[in-house]
Amino acid sequence: MKIKVTLKDQDVLHDAIVDAVLKTMGDVSEDEHYEVLESRIEKAKEVTRIWFRSDEYLRVEIDTDTKTCIVIPWK
């Protein structure tokens, strides 16, 4: 049996991206910090739009026969 689920959380993706980007900010001067932070966040969000709609909806399909779960890309 296959079960399709849409998960929604408006902050979790953004918070995860910000945490990941902040870990890469060691090489950035204080003067450039905000601009680089915003640029890197936007680049990461562009990639995640394959799987996340409006930065908060994620669709998965659970197959109870194979015991697998896949993320369904948005078209």
Over residues 24-52, the pLDDT tens digits come to 888 788 889 899 999 999 999 999 999 99
pLDDT value, residue 56: 93
Evaluate if pTM is beyond 0.95: no
pLDDT cut 70: percent of the chain above it:
100
| CB neighbour class for 57 (10 Å; exposed up to 12, middle 13-18, buried from 19) | middle
pLDDT band (50, 70, 90) for residue 64:
very high
- DSSP letter at 25? G
Q: Is 67 helix (H, G, I), strand (E, B) or coil?
A: coil
Which of 5-9, 23-27, 67-71 has the weakest average pLDDT? Answer: 23-27
